[in-house]
Amino acid sequence: MNYSPQNILTARARLGEVPFWHPDEQLLYWGDIYNHRVHQFNPATGEDRFFDVGEVVCCVAPAGNNRLIIGQRHRIAFLDTSNGQVTAIMDIEDNPDIRFNDGKCDRAGRFWFGSMSSKGEPQGKLYRYDGSLHILETGLTVSNGLGWSPDNKTFYLTDSPLKTIYAYDFDAESGSISDRRTLINLQAESFFPDGLTVDKDGCIWSAMWDGWCIIQFDPKGKEMMRVKMPVQRPTSCTFGDRDLTTLYITTASVGLSEGEIQKSFYSGDLFSLQTNTSGLPALHFG
């Protein structure tokens, strides 16, 4: 199959990220972290609307009718998509050098999210929120791209500056992880793994920051395919549409020089890719 990404929205986001497909609404949600926006995109009409949440928005997941759970700089909150109201759940961090990053819900409705250090220090953590807060991992640089295998036995976590995607044993009943090992090592590359998604066959699709591509890996971590992107900084991806065969890809323009922008003119836009596989549905909090 000839994989050719299509530019579907001239968004010019600073840091487009954390996309998920809402199967009930048939809408794509995604965040622009530094512009403090949660976007709601309708591929059928091309309409994109956004909610200004007043602070960086680092992760987003569905949480019931007209409600999302979001991670902001130091807190988690609910966003009411009927009126744009943000209601804080819990303040967690108070270190100005730390902010939250990528997050998703597991099949039991628990919200997983990580944190990162702006100074590149190993101060990041991985959290799970299920009505109470649990710390599952420490010593991360940038907790990023996470997901679960289709059989729900393996959890994936990316540490972007280390150019590593880890695999853990996952206990679905308790929500615990164990036996961390390196699944994908990209230290020989010049780019960094960012957000990821997992397809029905257990393959990992990872967006490569500064890599001009999305890479598909098999469940054992072997590279299968590189999909070339017309932008330097793909950030994350998720499967969507009714059959979950369309890969939606967010991108970033932040930090690019004027010359780099000229080479990567559509940076910050939203892209789609028709694939010959399908993804797993986004999971709701609660």
Looking at the annotation, which residues are catalytic?
A: 194
How many Cβ atoms are within 10 Å of 95's Cβ, its own excluded?
11
Positive or negative: CA dihedral 165, 38, 228, 263: negative
How buried is 172 (Cβ within 10 angstroms: 0-12 exposed, 13-18 middle, 19+ buried)? middle
Angle 90-180-204 (CA atoms, 0-180°, nearest 5)?
85
Nearest to 57 by CA among 40, 82, 41, 75: 75
Pairing outcome for strands 111-117 and 270-274:
unpaired
Nearest to 170 by CA among 184, 151, 185: 151
Tokens of 4: 């050719």
The helix/strand/coil state of 16 is strand
156: β partners:
147, 167
Compute the chain's Rg from CA coordinates. Answer: 17
The residue length of the chain stands at: 286
CA distances 266 to 9, 36, 141, Å, are 10, 20, 29
